[in-house]
Amino acid sequence: MGSRAQRKVSPATELLKRLGVHLDPELLVLSLTHRSFAHEAGGIPTNERLEFLGDAVLGLVSAEALYRRHPDRPEGDLAKMRAASVSQRALAAVARELDLGQFILLGKGESGTRGFDKDSILSDTVESLIGAVYLSHGLEVARDFVHRLIDETLSTAAGLGAGLDWKTSLQEAAAELGAGSPEYSSEASGPDHARHFISQVTIDSEVLGTGEGSAKKHAEQVAAQQAYETLIAREPRPAERQHA
């Protein structure tokens, strides 16, 4: 029987085992380096360039998969399905299944505010890992990696309905109900490396939804979902009124 030291598995080895792919140690560390950690460490490289690359790979692979799986769906539906499949919330859920938060390198301030469990940080790190896999192994391996991460979400996207794009769904619901057009307002706070947005959506001068997020578009989607649910709960849709 080996000693406890011999049986101990390093964090990097454990993470790579969960990911099911090999990465060079230096590239792995880079993919996990959040800007808050890099800032406190004197400006070392962050994972943001890898995140940029991974976002592009993720978009390509998800678009290709949806195109092939749904030959009868128009471009607009495919775009909504892709947006839902690779949304911040969806990627954060993938990260939590991997328990990815414990491996991310965060600054003390971000760690103190539970950055390891923030949707924005988790989803960004998933994208940076995809970028790292692409750089290391090319598109075919990256495609397989992406499918392992989001295939379940891709499979259920067709049935998400209004949740595919809350802003569009809210716009359509407001029009059907004869309400005014949704209007969004947002406020940003925090330093550049940790921006925080609060968005509100107003219809007919009434605030119907409020959302928060690390990006304006995410905060607006949360606000739109809240407004959509509020609007639908108040009054049935025209099709429902006809059968009432």
Tell me the HSE value of 133 on the side-chain side, using a 13 A CA sphere.
27
User: Scanning the structure block, which residue is given the tokens 């406190």?
Assistant: 40
Q: How far apart are CA 180 and CA 172, in angstroms?
A: 11
User: Residues at the annotated binding site for Mg(2+)?
Assistant: 51, 124, 127
Q: Which of 110, 119, 127, 165 is catalytic?
A: 127
Q: Mutual orientation of helices 119-137 and 88-98 as an angle, nearest 10°?
A: 80
pLDDT of residue 238 exceeding 50, the answer is: no
* 33 bridge partner residues: 105
DSSP sequence for 145-204: HHHHHHHHHHHHGGG-GGGG-HHHHHHHHHHHTTPPPPEEEEEEES-GGG-EEEEEEEET
Q: Assess whether 127 carries a catalytic annotation.
A: yes
Give the model's pLDDT for residue 241.
45
Give the model's pLDDT for residue 163.
61
Which range of 24-38, 147-161, 169-183 scores highest in mean pLDDT? It is 24-38
Q: Which of 14, 24, 26, 55 is catalytic?
A: 55
Q: How far apart are CA 87 and CA 213, in angstroms?
A: 12
pLDDT of residue 68 exceeding 80, the answer is: yes
Q: Tell me, which fold does domain 11-163 have in CATH?
A: Ribonuclease iii, N-terminal Endonuclease Domain; Chain A (1.10.1520)
Q: Tell me, which fold does domain 166-234 have in CATH?
A: Double Stranded RNA Binding Domain (3.30.160)
Every domain of the chain and the residues it spans? 11-163, 166-234
pLDDT of residue 243 exceeding 50, the answer is: no
**Interval 171-200: pLDDT, tens:** 888 888 888 899 999 999 887 666 788 999
Give the model's pLDDT for residue 123.
94
pLDDT band at 6 (very low <50, low <70, confident <90, very high): very low
User: Residues at the annotated binding site?
Assistant: 51, 124, 127
Please name the amino acid found at residue 182: P
Taking CA 18 as the corner, what is the angle to CA 129 and CA 118, rounded to the nearest 5 degrees?
55
Tokens coding 114: 């539970």
Q: Assess whether 55 carries a catalytic annotation.
A: yes
Distance from chain centroid for Cα 36: 19
Tokens coding 29: 């560390």
Q: How far apart are CA 2 and CA 17, in angstroms?
A: 21
Please, are residues 182 and 174 in contact by the beta-carbon 8 Å criterion? yes
Q: How far apart are CA 20 and CA 10, in angstroms?
A: 15
Phi and psi at 213, nearest 5°, equal 180, 170
Please, are residues 176 and 238 in contact by the beta-carbon 8 Å criterion? yes
Q: Which residues of 79-97 are buried (b: 16+ CB within 10 A; e: fewer)?
A: bbbbbbbbbbbbbbbbbee
Nearest to 208 by CA among 162, 167, 164, 161: 167
